[in-house]
Amino acid sequence: MSNETIETSSGTRIPDAGTRQRATRVRSEGAPYFAAPGPWPRWGMGFQLDSEARRYLTATSLGHDGAGGQVAFADPDHRVGFAFLTNEMEAGDDRATRVVDALREVLAAR
């Protein structure tokens, strides 16, 4: 799905550009109702957006992270779909963050 968010696949793009634009407008940010320490994520409609809490590639990236260090996102600027999955649930796993940081560096050098 990350790829179809930014590229046409089999003649279809899910969602279309207008829907993607509306879905990625910031709808929620800041401290949650429970006392969780910051930094906090930013949310569109169903998508986690680039924020201090979860850095993707650019401000136009949209995706979602998950427990155990998983993360998947699409970046329309770079035309990249990315997913990092683990097979274990470990707190504090920063491998996805390091891989995304390395990918950002490689793309910036192009």
pLDDT category of residue 6 using cuts at 50, 70 and 90: low
Domain count, the chain: 1
How does pLDDT run across 33-91, given as a tens digit for each residue?
Answer: 888 888 999 999 989 999 999 999 999 899 999 888 899 999 988 989 999 998 888 87
Give CA–CA dist 12/107, Å, rounded.
26
- Global pTM reads 0.79
What stretches of the chain adopt beta strand conformation (E)? 42-43, 48-49, 62-65, 71-75, 80-84
Residue 98 lies in a domain: yes
Residue 14 lies in a domain: yes
Residue 69 lies in a domain: yes
Give CA–CA dist 5/89, Å, rounded.
27
Domain span at 11? 2-27+38-108
- Show the tokens assigned to 83: 């997913």
Q: How many CB atoms lie within 10 A of CB 74?
A: 25
Per the CB < 8 A criterion, the answer to whether 43 and 26 are in contact is yes
Residue 33 lies in a domain: no
